[in-house]
Amino acid sequence: MRFAKAVFLSMILATAACFAQTHPQAPVGPPRYFGAIDLGSSGTKGELILFYPEAKDQLPKSFSTKIIDTSLVSSMRDNKYTPEGISDAISAVLLVLDGLKKEATKEKLPVEVYYVTGSSGVALAANKQDLAVAVKKATGIDMDFIDAKAEGFYGLTSAARQEHDETRSIFIDIGSGNTKVGCVVGDIDIKNFKNVEIPYGSKKVLDAARKKSPSDLVLGIDAVMKDIDAYYSGESENIPCLRNRQHIYWTGGAAWATTTFMHPEAALLQSVKLTKLDLDRFEKELRDGSWNQKQLVFAFPNNTPQDVRAAIRKEEDFDVNDSAHGVINIFTRDQILSGVSIMQTVLKSSNPSAQINFLRLNDFILGFATDKFEKEFVK
């Protein structure tokens, strides 16, 4: 997933208009706009969201997102944010907020409210309230924090509501500091969300791997996977939905990297299906070092027009090679291998035959902010 990918406003508004035309029975009132900022463990991103308060079956549309890397978590000392880390995070929040406001002004969007939310990794700091106070002082916005269960639930609802299968799917979000896995049993409500938080993400795996095998990082990663396997197997033993569901939504940097290299022809698609074979192949290439050495193979359908093929190749080149946002300039081989290995480990204990779905521009913030917006503004 290219975290900084922009979705053109005109395309989204056209999509929204088409949706309204194909659902004439939906009582679509005036759209409302709000901004949501996700202050995460390694970066801060924002979205402007178009919401139809009177049409419960109409999906919110997120049409702007960007990310700014920060040192908030990496600069922590004794489980506390440093003044320097907080300052860095505040600068990022201000930049994102300013960017969202400028876009809203440019497009004449009447944004009613902005939210700032700290992800589950950010919420773990002992002095998180210092961060909230700093955000309030700098922006005038009261900052919320979200735990791993809520982050997983809103990630699932953000993804699955697009295909109306929240109760048939598993959600797996592999971050840098932890991994969220969960499923809903019963009505779509957070109280019915069954989840496991694995205390390892792609970067934490590497920290642990270096301790286990200082001279061979790949061996160290394999050793950490044994710990994750034991932990997840035990935690999920009493949660049957985590083992039996046939559909998985996978998000995070490793998911985006896998999709980018295994299915370059899907660079312009919002939803991309992956298989266990894709993961096996990509993991092998990561391990032998060939993952970024081979020419990408575009499996275009025969009837794909030449101009579409050219657009896809251009987008794929951006996803891979862009100096600021391309896979090879954001992640190391070891970070991607860590994330893919976590996914493989979870699959082994859940359902290796499940269909895996990667959604671009999907994260918890859309589900969280929409829920918050509905509670505060929709009567």
The CATH number of 9-146, from 3.40.30.10, 3.30.360.10, 3.30.70.520, 3.30.420.40, is 3.30.420.40
CATH 3.50.50.60 corresponds to the domain 164-359: no
Amino acid at 78: D
Task: In the chain, list all ranges with CATH 3.30.420.150.
Answer: 164-359
Task: In the chain, list all ranges with CATH 3.30.420.40.
Answer: 9-146
* Residue 20 confidence (pLDDT) above 60: no
Phi, psi of 102 (to 5 degrees): -65, -40
Kindly give, in sequence order, each residue whose CB lies less than 8 Å from that of residue 146, ignoring residues fewer than 6 positions away: 117, 118, 119, 120, 123, 154, 364, 368
Report pLDDT for 25: 39
The model's pTM is 0.79
Amino acid at 318: F
* Higher per-residue pLDDT: 117 or 64: 117
**DSSP label at 5?**
-
Distance, in Å, from the CA atom of 336 to the CA atom of 285, rounded to the nearest integer, reads 11
**DSSP label at 57?**
T
Measured CA to CA in angstroms, residue 60 lies from 26, 100, 191, 337 at distances of 14, 17, 23, 34
**Least confidently predicted of 45-59, 104-118, 209-223:** 45-59
Instruction: Work out the average pLDDT over 190-213.
Output: 94
Tokens of 335: 């970070």
**Least confidently predicted of 41-45, 140-144, 270-274, 327-331:** 41-45
* Residue 68 confidence (pLDDT) above 70: yes
Report pLDDT for 7: 35
Instruction: Work out the average pLDDT over 147-151.
Output: 90
Q: What is the pLDDT of residues 255-300, one digit of tens each?
A: 999 999 999 999 999 889 999 999 999 999 999 999 999 899 999 9
Q: How far apart are the first and last CA of the chain?
A: 35
